[in-house]
Amino acid sequence: MKRTLISLVVLAATGIALSLATGPLGLNAPSQVIMYLRLPRILLAITAGASLAVSGCVLQAVLRNPLATPYTLGISAGAGVTAGFIILSGISLPVFILYLSGTAGALAASMLTWFLAGRGQRDHSGLILAGVTVNLLGASVLLLVEYMSPASRLVEIIRWMMGDLAIAGYRRVLFLLPFLVAGMVPAMMRTGTLNQFLTGTEMAESRGVNTVRERLLLLIAAAVLAGGAVGAVGPIGFVGLIVPHTIRRLVGGDYRRLLPLSALGGAVLMLWADIFSRVVISPAELPIGVILSLLGGPFFLYLLIKKPRL
Amino acid sequence: MSELIFQEFAAGYSPGVMAVTGVSMGITGGSVTAVIGPNGSGKSTLLKGIMSFPGIHSRGSVTLNSRAVHLMNRNDRAGRIAYLPQSPPVPAGLTAVETVLLGRFPHRSAWSSDSPEDIRIALDALEMVGASHLADKFTDEISGGENRLVNLAAVLSQKTEVILLDEPGSSLDYGHAAQLWKLLSDLAERGIIILATTHRIEMSGNAFDKVLLLSDGKALAFGRPEDVFHSKDLLSKVYKTPMEVRQSSPGGSWIVFPGDSE
Is the pLDDT at B125 greater than 90, yes or no?
yes
CA gap A133, B120 in Å, rounded: 48
Domain A2-7+32-306 has CATH 2.60.40.10: no
Burial pattern B139-158, b for ≥16 Cβ within 10 A else e, equals beebeeebbbbbbbbbbbbb
Residue A113: predicted pLDDT: 84
Q: Chain A residue with minimal CA distance to B84?
A: A203
Is the confidence metric ipTM above 0.85 for this complex? yes
Closest in A190, A207, A256 to B113, CB measured:
A256
CA gap B229, B255 in Å, rounded: 11
All structural domains of chain B with their residue ranges: 3-65+161-258, 90-159
SS (H, E, C) chain B: CCEEEEEEEEEECCCCCCCEEEEEEEEECCCEEEEECCCCCCHHHHHHHHCCCCCCEEEEEEEECCEEHHHCCHHHHHHHEEEECCCCCCCCCCEHHHHHHHHHHHHCCCCCCCCHHHHHHHHHHHHHCCCHHHCCCEHHHCCHHHHHHHHHHHHHHCCCCEEEEECCCCCCCHHHHHHHHHHHHHHHHCCCEEEEECCCHHHHCCCCCEEEEEECCEEEEEECHHHHCCCHHHHHHHHCCCEEEEECCCCCCEEEEECCCC
All structural domains of chain A with their residue ranges: 2-7+32-306
| B chain contacts of residue A202, beta-carbon cutoff 8 Å | 48, 51, 53, 83, 85, 88
User: pLDDT of A87-132, one tens digit each?
Assistant: 888 777 777 777 788 888 888 888 888 888 776 555 667 778 888 8
| B chain contacts of residue A200, beta-carbon cutoff 8 Å | 85, 88-89
- DSSP codes of every residue in A163-224: -----SSSHHHHHHHHHHHHHHHHHHTTHHHHHHHTT-HHHHHHTT--HHHHHHHHHHHHHH
- Share the mean pLDDT of chain B: 91
**Cα–Cα separations (whole angstroms), residue A77 to A183, A270, B7:** 20, 21, 52
User: pLDDT of B216-228, one tens digit each?
Assistant: 999 999 999 888 8
CA gap A244, B196 in Å, rounded: 38
Q: How far, rounded to the nearest angstrom, does the alpha carbon of residue A180 sit from its chain's CA centroid? A: 11
Residue A164: predicted pLDDT: 79
CA gap A241, A49 in Å, rounded: 12
Residue A310: predicted pLDDT: 44
Would you give the DSSP letter of residue A144?
Answer: H
- Share the mean pLDDT of chain A: 87
User: pLDDT of A214-264, one tens digit each?
Assistant: 988 998 899 899 988 988 888 887 899 889 988 998 899 999 999 999 999
Contact B21, B69 (CB under 8 A): no
User: pLDDT of B51-78, one tens digit each?
Assistant: 999 889 999 999 999 999 999 999 999 9
CA gap A139, A158 in Å, rounded: 12
Residue A309: predicted pLDDT: 46
Q: How far, rounded to the nearest angstrom, does the alpha carbon of residue A87 sit from its chain's CA centroid? A: 22
% of chain A beyond a pLDDT of 90: 37
User: pLDDT of B173-205, one tens digit each?
Assistant: 888 888 899 999 999 999 999 999 998 888 777
Look at A192 and B82 and tell me if their CB atoms are within 8 Å. no
B contact set with A (CB within 8 A): 48, 51, 53-55, 74-75, 77-79, 81-83, 85, 88-95, 98-99, 102-103, 105-106, 108-113, 140, 151, 154, 158
As its CATH architecture, domain B3-65+161-258 has: 3-Layer(aba) Sandwich (3.40)
pLDDT band at A27 (very low <50, low <70, confident <90, very high): confident
User: pLDDT of A172-212, one tens digit each?
Assistant: 898 899 999 999 999 999 999 999 999 999 999 999 999 98
